[in-house]
Amino acid sequence: MNLANIAQARFNMIEQQIRPWNVLDADVLNLLADVRREEFVPLAHQALAFADLEVPLGHGQYMLAPRLEARMLQDLQIQPHEKALEIGTGSGYMAALLGRRALSVLSLERIPELATSARAHLQQAGLHNVEVRVADGSQTLSGLGTFDAIVLSGSVPQVPQHILDLLAVGGRLIAIVGDEPIMSAQLITRVDEAALRSTTPWDANAPRLHGFAEHSQFHF
Q: CA nearest 107: which of 146, 126, 135, 71?
A: 135
The pLDDT score that the predictor gives to residue 28 is 97
Helix (H) or strand (E) holding 114: helix 112-124
Look at residue 216 and tell me if it is in a domain: no
* Amino acid at residue number 81: H
- The CATH number given to whatever domain includes residue 147 is 3.40.50.150
pLDDT cut 90: percent of the chain above it: 89
- What is the tens place of the pLDDT at every residue in 133-174? 999 999 988 899 999 999 999 999 999 999 999 999 999 999
Query: What per-residue confidence (pLDDT) applies to 27?
Result: 97
State residue 141's pLDDT score.
Answer: 84
In a domain, 218, yes or no: no
For the question of whether the overall pTM of this predicted structure is more than 0.85, the answer is: yes
Beta strands 130-134 and 104-109: pairing type?
parallel
Residue 76 domain-assigned (yes or no): yes
Residue 134 in any domain: the answer is: yes
* Nearest-10 crossing angle of helices 93-101, 26-34: 130
Reduced to 3 states, what is the DSSP secondary structure of residue 175? strand
User: Going by C-beta distance under 8 Å and a sequence separation of 6 or more, which residues neighbour residue 217?
Assistant: none
Number of domain units in the chain: 1
Spatial contact of 173 and 164, defined as CB atoms under 8 Å apart: yes
SS3 call for 86? strand
Q: Is residue 220 part of a domain?
A: no
Q: Per the domain annotation, does 213 fall within a domain?
A: no
Beta bridge partners of 24: none
Q: Which residues of the chain have pLDDT under 50?
A: 218-220
Task: Check residue 142 and give its pLDDT.
Answer: 84
Domain membership of residue 83 (yes or no) is yes
41-50 pLDDT, tens digit per residue, is: 999 999 999 9
State the pLDDT at residue 22: 96
Domain containing 69 equals 3-199
Does 214 fall in a domain?
Answer: no
